[in-house]
Amino acid sequence: MGRTRVTLLRGDGIGPEIAAATIQVLDAAGAQLEFDEALAGVRAVEELRDPLPQVTIDSITKNRLALKGPLSTPVGQGFRSVNVALRQHFDLYANVRPIQNYPGVPSRYQGIDLVLVRENTEDIYAGIEHYVGPGRSAAESIAIITRHGSERIVRYALELARREQRKRVTLVHKANILKYSNGLFLDVGREVAKEFPDLAFDDLIVDAAAMKLVTAPERFDVIVTTNLFGDILSDLCAGLIGGLGLAPGANLGREVAIFEAVHGTAPDIAGKGLANPSALVLAAALLLDQVGQGDVARRVRTALRSALASEEARTADLGGRGDLQTFTDAIRRAL
């Protein structure tokens, strides 16, 4: 089998460390991938004076696949989020975030196995924001929800549920207050769900969903929601299983797919060799599934599971005594 070419964005903060660890794991697992390195984020600004250079966009356009470390976004000012720009440029409308427990990893809950499907291009992330009136006396951010965007994301979630033999899809919204934008999302969702009579479909208001996720998380199977709620709830879901270090994400469009960790650049531990690479390793496994290397993906997940079960090997964020290198070595040994 030929090697699949993938654009590699190592990212900022802990990105380069966890990307190097992930590549070591992929090599040990025999993944047939070839990486084209490209820059984005802070390093791209430093070297090319552009957080998302055209050469990076060209590389992803050519390969149609990318593995991406986290990128830092300045708060309140400075350049716009490169993550949001990538999602919008390539119309990566589905952000798929699987959340499940790993044996031996300390966590408040057990028995969790859910997938959060976040709409990835619309809502308050559409980028329509400005000050209103003189000075900075007021500001507005406009949420855009379209019938087209709602239909394709809910359909994606229902098809995923069917493909993975899951039972229930829960649409999360705030249609009681945001009657127009979220009302449209809910109405379209209910219409699309009628085409999937084999699946249970229900809906929850986001505040109730947040409460239920911490009181009865095992109730959930597939969640589909709008961009902002998906952003917030996916960190909440990562918290259910032991933390952000375990949550991968796939940004999927019709042409291009970008795989990443849900977490950010973790500036508090960057450069210290303490980061947990699991989320990016799991993101790479999702990529391998996508390109028909499911056997390699299974090997990677099994080895990761065995390393995670060892308190000696796993990293401190998961209550372990290991660091990035001991943990990566344990995964490679298991392979």
Ligand X SMILES: NC(=O)c1ccc[n+]([C@@H]2O[C@H](COP(=O)([O-])OP(=O)(O)OC[C@H]3O[C@@H](n4cnc5c(N)ncnc54)[C@H](O)[C@@H]3O)[C@@H](O)[C@H]2O)c1
Question: Is residue 71 near ligand X by the rule CB under 6 A?
Answer: yes
Among 276, 293, 306, 328, binds ligand X (CB under 6 A): 276
Question: Is residue 233 near ligand X by the rule CB under 6 A?
Answer: no
**Binding piece for ligand X, criterion CB under 6 A, among 70-78, 85-93, 122-130, 158-166:** 70-78
Binding mask 185-224 vs ligand X (x if CB under 6 A, - otherwise)?
A: ----------------------------------------
- Is position 194 annotated as part of the catalytic site? no
Question: Is residue 317 near ligand X by the rule CB under 6 A?
Answer: yes
Among 98, 217, 245, 320, binds ligand X (CB under 6 A): 245
Distances (CA, A) of 208 to 15, 78, 119, 203: 34, 35, 19, 10
Among 28, 266, 288, 300, binds ligand X (CB under 6 A): 266
The residue annotated as part of the active site, out of 167, 207, 272, 295, is 207
Binding mask 8-47 vs ligand X (x if CB under 6 A, - otherwise)?
A: ------x---------------------------------
Distance of CA 210 to the CA centre of its chain: 18
- Is position 231 annotated as part of the catalytic site? yes
Q: Tell me how far, at minimum, the Cβ of 72 lies from ligand X, in Å.
A: 3
- Is position 180 annotated as part of the catalytic site? no
Q: In the numeric block, which tokens belong to residue 16? A: 């380069």
Where would I find the H helices in the chain? 15-29, 42-48, 54-63, 82-89, 147-163, 181-193, 206-215, 227-240, 278-290, 294-308, 324-334
Q: Give the per-residue SS3 of 202-266.
A: EEEEHHHHHHHHHHCHHHCCEEEECHHHHHHHHHHHHHHCCCHHHCEEEEECCCCEEEEECCCCC
Q: Tell me how far, at minimum, the Cβ of 191 lies from ligand X, in Å.
A: 32
Size of the site for ligand X (CB under 6 A): 20
Burial of 177 (0-12, 13-18, 19+ CB in 10 A): exposed
**Residue corresponding to tokens 């649409």:** 171
- Is position 174 annotated as part of the catalytic site? yes
Question: Is residue 121 near ligand X by the rule CB under 6 A?
Answer: no
For CA atoms 118, 122, 126, 131, give the dihedral sign: negative
Q: In the numeric block, which tokens belong to residue 51? A: 């957080």
Among 264, 296, 301, 330, binds ligand X (CB under 6 A): 264
Among 265, 293, 306, 328, binds ligand X (CB under 6 A): 265
Q: Do residues 289 and 160 make contact, with C-beta atoms less than 8 angstroms apart?
A: no
Catalytic residues: 125, 174, 207, 231
Residues in touch with ligand X (CB under 6 A): 14, 70-73, 83, 244-245, 260, 263-269, 275-276, 279, 317
